[in-house]
Structure 1
Amino acid sequence: MKMKDGFYITDIPKVKDGANVKAFLSVEKGRSVIDYHRSFPAYQETPLAELKELAQKLGLAGFFVKDESYRFGLNAFKVLGGSYSIGRWLAQKLEMKETELTYKKLTDPQTKKQLGDLTFVTATDGNHGRGVAWTARELGQQSVIYMPKGSATERLENIRAEGAEASITDMNYDEAVRLANKMGEDKGWIMVQDTAWEGYQEIPRWIMQGYATMAFEAIEQLGQVVPTHVFLQAGVGSLAGAVSGLLANFYGESKPIITIVEPNKADCIYQTAAAKDGKLHFVTGDMDTIMAGLACGEPNQIGWDVISECDEFAVSCPDWVAAKGMRVLGNAVGNDPKVISGESGAVTAGFVAAVMSRPDLKWLKDELKLDENARVLCFSTEGDTDQEHYRKIVWDGLYPSDREATGNYDK
């Protein structure tokens, strides 16, 4: 473990028992999941932005960013997990084979008659809940969404616009998850959550498989280009685990170096990796980071197991790194495509840009083996899902990245 100027990095201890925990994220499974998503009329592959001139400016061989702001018109990737897990749950209830799992089949009036009226429930800072609400509406069902305190009103209204019953609680994210679970148990609703605990693992695993569609698309778009470095943001670790597992299974011995990036105030994956004792480590309190989608204090055991098998490093960083990423991606260099990325979506690109351009962060550049031969892949997991805050950062300069301007690295 090393730290300096608000940055912390640790290597991730590897699984030592030889267990292939990433097997459920196989390439074959990835093809099956993407076929399911492609059956939706709203499906369209999201762009992979190749930032050639930014790469040159930073001293990299390549810089690619998967832009999830186009996903199903919902401005974030989360719907991939919600839609696939709900589909799998319905298929199981209908005793359907996975190969029969299509949008057309699930929306057939006869299918709806067999299922009756169902309600899906979840806790979310915004993107996951909107995806669950959208899927429930698309399939003719109901949803109830609980949001942690501090959630943006815009995100709440976006969820309600999908037909959900939604509210902002006075709880942090992990407490909101427990509330959603209790309400589900009390009322017979189906819990659709991307974190796991004892007795609740099947749906979180399906959600991770759903997320893998994003990585599968990126692999196809890269073609013969093999990234040397992948940077993945983490909340509970479901997204990071899903992408890591599929990349590791696809690339095999050519697998890129994978680094997890989290905010200082909600770095449960980093804390778990740094402890090196094989146990999950929680972060508690308000976790008031600008990266609302990553403000999770309790890791998903399934996601962590894959991360610990596949990934090399975990990093904890200040909030200004995400703000820098938003500005870098939104103000393209030369003829590079512009990427509108929200706080949680931009932190990895901001981290790479900071490490490659600041002499005071050379120690991180060296640790991660980032040089002129590096081909970097990041995933911008959301667009401007909180437009007011996006403009405060990109237009007004909130959370500046200049050390003298901030006085510290946390604000």
Structure 2
Amino acid sequence: MLKVSNNQFYTGETCSLFTTEIAQRTREFHRQIDGYQPTPLVSLPQLASKLGVKAILVKDESHRFGLNAFKVLGGSYALGRLLAEHLEMDISEIDLKTVASKLDKPLVFTTATAGNHGTGVAWAAREMGQKAVVYMPKGSAQASVNRIKGLGAECIVTDVNYDDTVRLANKTAEENGWMLVQDTAWEGYDKIPTWISQGYMTMADEAIEQATAMPEGLPTHVMLQAGVGAMAGGVLGYLADKLGADNFKTVIAEPSAADCIFRSGSSKDGNMVNVTGDLNSIMAGLACGEPNPVTWPILRNCSDVFVSVDDNVAATGMRILGNPLHGDTAVTSGESGAITMGLLHLLANHPEGQKVAQNIGLDQDAVVMIFSTEGDTNADRYRQIVWEGKLPLND
């Protein structure tokens, strides 16, 4: 249920790719998109009291551009940067409404996705008058396929896992002269994944701006979920630069079926470790076996604890957020969005978790910030878990 590794490679060293200045530029780009507004930062005082901490602040990304997930922040910024580069313009000059008129014909963007990233790329391509072809790994939910197709993109489900689907998307892009917009990197492909992770900093910049104006104050503890680590690295990079890495504790959480960041952080040398196989998890957005080399250094340098948990921990987080204590606000959180809330519950109630909480000062003075990165993107499974009690914690 719970595997924990204290980070022996912590240095607190920040990264020049993820700074407050760059975050301001990415947020300025997002601000000019129709419908942009900061997603809510919700305080849960009753739950905080029950779990023995001062405050719990939840960034609710189910409200992002009507797409029910945060991923569009990365995809839209990367597409904007690509179009700016293609047109030899500055990103600040890109207007989503008029950029298509500057091209002889639409560009084709392609990506591999477990769902939310592909939705973001499809939406951004549509908004910019471009085309998108999205590949999904075997076992992908039909609801995700339908959502992507509904945004005007072509969607192809493969018969291989996520990491092999990434390789297939890359091969197809090269053969057809398409632009690959992938949120993980490899040798020779790191510019676009960097832009995507930088796009995610808008979410973190909003959260700190909101927390500053709230009585609970700035976070002393941040809990981030990781697939390849693109979001976790971008957010942590920003927070380390903005607040100072030594001024808060960071916990990185992953599904046990695809815990490549946990294994990398638990390794003898701190080098990236890949996980292979089917990578089966209800947390489809986190079911990735190969760390992102762009963001791994910041996760290695600035995380305090790496944790690997089973699917029922995320399911518990979904139920807690969706069924709040009297006086708290309900948050509709999907499987990948709720892993950190489920983990916070474990750290307060599980004997092994309580040891971790004590080690990192997760006590009555702690202000915990978590990011619920998606809503009920798979509505049927959300009801199975939250209504019908699928994947109980005592399994």
User: TM class, shorter-chain normalised?
Assistant: over 0.9
1:240 pairs with 232, 237, 242, which one?
Answer: 232
Task: Name 1:198's counterpart in structure 2.
Answer: 187
Gap change, CA 1:36 and 1:97, over 3 Å in 2: same
Instruction: Give the gaps of 5 or more residues in structure 1.
Output: 1-5, 407-411
- Counterparts of 1:266 and 1:186, CA distance in 2: 30
| One-letter amino acid of the counterpart of residue 21, structure 2 | E
| One-letter amino acid of the counterpart of residue 307, structure 1 | L
- Counterparts of 1:272 and 1:254, CA distance in 2: 21
SS in 1 for 2:313: helix
Instruction: Give the gaps of 5 or more residues in structure 2.
Output: none
Equivalenced residue count is: 392
- Counterparts of 1:210 and 1:91, CA distance in 2: 15
Task: Name 1:269's counterpart in structure 2.
Answer: 261
2:5 pairs with 3, 6, 10, which one?
Answer: 10
Gap change, CA 1:155 and 1:59, over 3 Å in 2: same
Q: How far apart are 1:115 and its partner, in Å? A: 5.2
- Counterparts of 1:147 and 1:346, CA distance in 2: 22
1:388 aligns with 2:380: yes
Task: Name 1:107's counterpart in structure 2.
Answer: 97
1:92 pairs with 72, 85, 92, which one?
Answer: 85
| One-letter amino acid of the counterpart of residue 123, structure 1 | A
1:67 aligns with 2:60: yes
Preserved CA contact (<8 Å) 1:21 1:305: no
Report the aligned-residue RMSD: 1.5
Preserved CA contact (<8 Å) 1:81 1:210: yes
Task: Name 2:389's counterpart in structure 1.
Answer: 397
Q: How far apart are 1:87 and its partner, in Å? A: 0.1
Gap change, CA 1:190 and 1:48, over 3 Å in 2: same
1:207 aligns with 2:196: yes
- The CA deviation string for residues 10-38 of structure 1, in whole angstroms up to 9 with x for no partner, is 1224377x9x6611111111111111101
- Counterparts of 1:231 and 1:253, CA distance in 2: 14
Q: How far apart are 1:311 and its partner, in Å? A: 1.3
Preserved CA contact (<8 Å) 2:270 2:300: no
Preserved CA contact (<8 Å) 2:107 2:130: yes
- Counterparts of 2:104 and 2:276, CA distance in 1: 39
| One-letter amino acid of the counterpart of residue 156, structure 1 | V
- Counterparts of 1:392 and 1:305, CA distance in 2: 38
Gap change, CA 1:359 and 1:13, over 3 Å in 2: closer
SS in 1 for 2:218: coil
Preserved CA contact (<8 Å) 2:138 2:160: yes
Tell me the TM-score normalized by structure 1.
0.92
- The CA deviation string for residues 367-391 of structure 1, in whole angstroms up to 9 with x for no partner, is 3321111110000000000000000
1:123 aligns with 2:112: yes
Preserved CA contact (<8 Å) 1:94 1:115: no
1:55 pairs with 38, 48, 56, which one?
Answer: 48
| One-letter amino acid of the counterpart of residue 53, structure 2 | L
1:80 pairs with 73, 78, 82, which one?
Answer: 73
- Counterparts of 2:143 and 2:52, CA distance in 1: 38
- Counterparts of 2:221 and 2:273, CA distance in 1: 26
Q: How far apart are 1:107 and its partner, in Å? A: 2.7
Preserved CA contact (<8 Å) 1:322 1:343: yes
1:362 aligns with 2:357: no
Mapping of 1:324-343 within 5 angstroms?
324-343=316-335
| One-letter amino acid of the counterpart of residue 31, structure 1 | Q
Task: Name 2:177's counterpart in structure 1.
Answer: 188
1:27 pairs with 7, 10, 20, which one?
Answer: 20
| One-letter amino acid of the counterpart of residue 217, structure 1 | E
- Counterparts of 1:296 and 1:121, CA distance in 2: 18
Task: Name 1:145's counterpart in structure 2.
Answer: 134
Gap change, CA 1:176 and 1:97, over 3 Å in 2: same
Q: Percent identity?
A: 50
- Counterparts of 1:114 and 1:157, CA distance in 2: 29
Q: How far apart are 1:7 and its partner, in Å? A: 1.4
- Counterparts of 1:125 and 1:114, CA distance in 2: 30
- The CA deviation string for residues 349-380 of structure 1, in whole angstroms up to 9 with x for no partner, is 11001221334532222233211111100000
| One-letter amino acid of the counterpart of residue 37, structure 2 | Q
| One-letter amino acid of the counterpart of residue 360, structure 2 | L
1:170 pairs with 127, 151, 159, which one?
Answer: 159
SS in 1 for 2:109: strand
SS in 1 for 2:337: helix
- Counterparts of 2:288 and 2:372, CA distance in 1: 18
2:371 pairs with 379, 389, 392, which one?
Answer: 379
2:344 pairs with 349, 352, 360, which one?
Answer: 352
| One-letter amino acid of the counterpart of residue 106, structure 2 | D
Q: How far apart are 1:119 and its partner, in Å? A: 0.4
Gap change, CA 1:106 and 1:360, over 3 Å in 2: closer
- Counterparts of 1:183 and 1:262, CA distance in 2: 29
Task: Name 1:3's counterpart in structure 2.
Answer: none
- Counterparts of 1:360 and 1:244, CA distance in 2: 25
